[in-house]
Amino acid sequence: MQSEQNGEISSRRSQKLLRRGLGLLLMLIVVLPLAYCGITDALNYRGICVKELRRISDRELIQPWVEGAIRNYPPLDPRGTKDESGKWQSVIAGLGTPIPYHDAAELLKLNPGCCTVEDFDPSSGYVLGSEEKRAGLGRGFVRLEYDIRYRVADGSEASKKYLTASAVTNCGDLWRPY
């Protein structure tokens, strides 16, 4: 009789522990994902790159865009004009022969203050909604304004200012909202 009572008490304790364990497990299954979502939303909203768990510096955001400008020098005409053979024309088409920059360092040296990261705000012409901020989609604009250098027919050097701006995510990727 005594052993049956001990067995029954032990069984009730086991069931009670099992219910507590299942309750705790269920709570973890529900609470952890919600906590993760809340934390990532908060980090994204503050401009943190969640993949790297840090805020990407302006310099790190600008560098790939400057390197892209070097690779695609001279830039194409944004109006999408083509020459007689159907090739896309550059912004200096018909003005002279392009003088490329040797590397990103030269472009930055010859164009001081050329490159900035600007926040989304009313003065930039765009206000980012809280949904986009929580998704990490809007760190700001990487703005590049630099000289497109070229050599004219008489051999002298000339230049033309070129401005481009691209919206980037918190991690520095091109922002594609649609």
Question: What is the count of structural domains for the chain?
Answer: 2
User: What does the pLDDT read at residue 2?
Assistant: 52
The type of residue at 13 is R
User: What does the pLDDT read at residue 82?
Assistant: 82
Percentage of the chain modeled with pLDDT above 70: 74
Residues 69 and 31 in one domain: no
**For residue 152, which phi and psi values (nearest 5 degrees)?**
-85, 175
Residues 24 and 73 in one domain: no
User: What does the pLDDT read at residue 12?
Assistant: 74
Round the average pLDDT of the chain to a whole number and report it: 80
> Does residue 9 belong to any structural domain of this protein?
yes
pLDDT tier, 25 (very low <50, low <70, confident <90, very high otherwise): confident
Three-state SS for 150? strand
Residue 34 has pLDDT above 50, yes or no: yes
> Does residue 51 belong to any structural domain of this protein?
no
163's CB contacts (< 8 A; 6+ apart) are 143, 144, 145
Residue 149 has pLDDT above 90, yes or no: yes
Structural domain of 102? 58-168
Residues 131 and 92 in one domain: yes
> Does residue 10 belong to any structural domain of this protein?
yes
Over residues 21-26, the mean pLDDT reads: 75
Residues 79 and 29 in one domain: no
Over residues 41-49, the mean pLDDT reads: 73
Give 121 or 51, the one with higher predicted confidence: 51
- Range of 19-33, 41-55, 84-98, 131-145 with top mean pLDDT: 84-98
Residue 176 has pLDDT above 90, yes or no: no
Residues 62 and 141 in one domain: yes
Residues 143 and 93 in one domain: yes
Residues 70 and 152 in one domain: yes
Over residues 17-29, the mean pLDDT reads: 74
Residues 88 and 37 in one domain: no
pLDDT tier, 178 (very low <50, low <70, confident <90, very high otherwise): very low
> Does residue 176 belong to any structural domain of this protein?
no
> Does residue 20 belong to any structural domain of this protein?
yes
Residues 76 and 122 in one domain: yes
Over residues 12-19, the mean pLDDT reads: 74
Interatomic CA distance for residues 22 and 106, integer angstroms: 63
Over residues 3-17, the mean pLDDT reads: 65
Residue 54 has pLDDT above 90, yes or no: no
Q: Give the HSE-up count for residue 66: Cα atoms under 13 Å, Cβ half-sphere.
A: 26
